[in-house]
Structure 1
């Protein structure tokens, strides 16, 4: 953990869970900022075959985790809402796609991920 990470965790201990995801290979988009204040952080893990696990954090008590199928029209096969620590724990405990106990049933159309090359819609 670098000095910036250490200072962030000292100020906000819950951030250690997002840093742990990043250290596992998760990638994070630039935070959504309003009036100079970060209001949302989005991260994702891409699986072989196009599957994707996603986390969206608005604060330590409001987070969302998703697993989405790959392809042109991705679908949601797993969703969990709760505190950030609980969502991170649920995401890391999901079996990899393709394993016998991994979720497969599409329950909803997946949201499109924002990427830095695209303008944000407010």
Structure 2
């Protein structure tokens, strides 16, 4: 069994990150001393919008949607399954139901 399959067996919640990857998300690990300590993901949209996720553990996840100026119009934190489910349900920017009101400024560089 390869390491990816073993991780999915040990932490089935990680399947939700595979779902995001299949939906066009890109991921980068944060590595310290040769060990992955976080995973960061991003999905960009036309018009400069971006969704981002930071995963520290299956119970420690944060996600945001930012406009092209770094204004945060949506954010959630909690468990991996819940946060990813909300990201998947989030209407695309430009949809009449998509959040547009800026509620915060994006941290730099995405240290949320």
TM-score, normalised with respect to structure 2: 0.88
Counterpart-to-counterpart distance in 1, 2:3 and 2:91: 32
Partner of 2:7: 8
More strand by share: 2
SS of structure 2 residue aligned to 1:100? coil
Contact 1:33 1:40 in 2 (8 A): yes
Partner of 1:99: 95
Matched residue pairs, number? 109
- Unpaired runs of 5+ residues, structure 1, are 115-122
Give matches, 1:17-28, under 5 Å.
Answer: 17-28=16-27
- Unpaired runs of 5+ residues, structure 2, are none
Tell me which stretches of 4 or more aligned residues in structure 1 moved more than 4 Å. Answer: none
Partner of 1:118: none
1:90 equivalent in alignment to 2:106: no
Give matches, 1:24-103, under 5 Å.
Answer: 24-29=23-28, 31-70=29-68, 73-103=69-99
Deviation at 1:8, TM superposition (A): 2.2
CA RMSD of aligned residues (A): 1.5
Deviation at 1:4, TM superposition (A): 4.8
SS of structure 1 residue aligned to 2:39? strand
Counterpart-to-counterpart distance in 1, 2:5 and 2:46: 32
